[in-house]
């Protein structure tokens, strides 16, 4: 079964300094039909104005992945980590038994545009942790590059959850296939451009949920950037 979620159906918040689209219920946006898929709980598409950001706050028992699309995101946390996250980077923060952190737009003259992704961990109260890696566009061109997984295989960042996250770039003539376990849900989020997912044409901000499918086929891309999640049921 294939279900399409249109970009325009997402929740939206405009705080002035922050403009955000919520794929699933988050903060003041609540829709009981959209609470997540499998162990994927949050995809927020955030745009942060220059010189602003999220002040220090706490989380626990969540795998939080940041995927920067443009600009530059500054990170600080209670483990002593300090980093700048740029396009091509994937940052994983394991909140575990508790972590405090902040994120700010450190691109002085430009908006920072990124995805904030939350995945439920396999276990509670693990030790908090942090990891960040860069993935070149060449490895994602016409290909689904594994960027996060439970075992850190293929050079991906390690998440403490039964999930795999892939990123790909597709333009005219480029296509990719991924063999799926029909018992596991798969969520395809199109960051930008347009793309066909198992024959369904979607546009930037749209998403597709696949259940009971044995294969994922991506084709017909036009300046497309896509993220694919293979998830625990």
Asked whether residue 13 carries a pLDDT value surpassing 90, the answer given is: yes
Convert the pLDDT of each residue in 16-25 to its tens digit: 999 999 999 9
Q: How confident is the model at residue 107 (pLDDT cuts 50, 70, 90)?
A: confident
Residues linked to residue 157 through DSSP beta bridges, in sequence order? 148
What is the C-alpha separation between 104 and 191, in angstroms, rounded? 21
C-alpha–C-alpha distance, residues 62 and 83, integer Å: 20
Looking at residue 89, its pLDDT comes to: 97
Q: Give residue-wise pLDDT tens across range 117-151.
A: 999 999 999 999 999 999 999 999 999 999 999 99
Residue 48 has pLDDT above 90, yes or no: yes
If you average pLDDT over residues 187-191, what whole number do you get?
A: 98
Two tokens, residue 56: 């220090």
Nearest C-alpha neighbor of 99 from the set 129, 74, 141: 129
Residue range 53-59: average pLDDT? 90
Secondary structure (DSSP) of 11-68 = EEEE-SSEEEEESS-BTTB--TT-S-BTTEEEEEEEEE-TT-EEEEEEE-S-EEEEEE
Q: What confidence score (pLDDT) does residue 138 get? A: 96
Q: Output the pTM of the full model.
A: 0.96
pLDDT, tens digit, 9 for 90 and up, residues 191-220 = 999 999 999 999 999 999 999 999 999 999
């Amino acid at each position: 079964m294939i279900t399409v979620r249109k970009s325009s159906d997402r929740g939206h918040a405009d705080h002035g300094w922050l403009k955000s689209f919520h794929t699933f219920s988050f903060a003041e946006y609540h829709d009981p039909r959209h609470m997540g898929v499998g162990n994927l709980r949050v995809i927020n598409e955030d745009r942060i104005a220059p010189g602003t950001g999220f002040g220090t706050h706490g989380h626990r028992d969540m795998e939080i992945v940041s995927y920067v699309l443009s600009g530059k995101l500054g990170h600080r946390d209670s483990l002593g980590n300090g980093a700048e996250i740029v396009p091509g980077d994937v940052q994983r923060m394991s909140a575990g038994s508790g972590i405090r952190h902040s994120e700010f737009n450190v691109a002085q003259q430009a908006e920072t545009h990124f995805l904030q992704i939350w995945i439920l961990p396999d276990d509670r109260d693990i030790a908090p942790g942090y990891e960040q890696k860069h993935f070149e566009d060449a490895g994602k061109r016409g290909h689904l590059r594994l960027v996060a997984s439970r075992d850190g295989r293929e050079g991906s960042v390690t998440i403490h959850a039964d999930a795999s996250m892939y990123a790909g770039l597709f333009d005219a003539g480029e296509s990719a296939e991924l063999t799926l376990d029909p018992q596991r849900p798969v969520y395809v989020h199109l960051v930008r451009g347009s793309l066909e997912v198992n024959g369904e044409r979607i546009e930037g901000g749209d998403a597709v949920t696949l259940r009971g499918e044995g294969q994922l086929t991506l084709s017909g891309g036009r300046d497309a950037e896509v993220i694919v999640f293979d998830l625990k049921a």
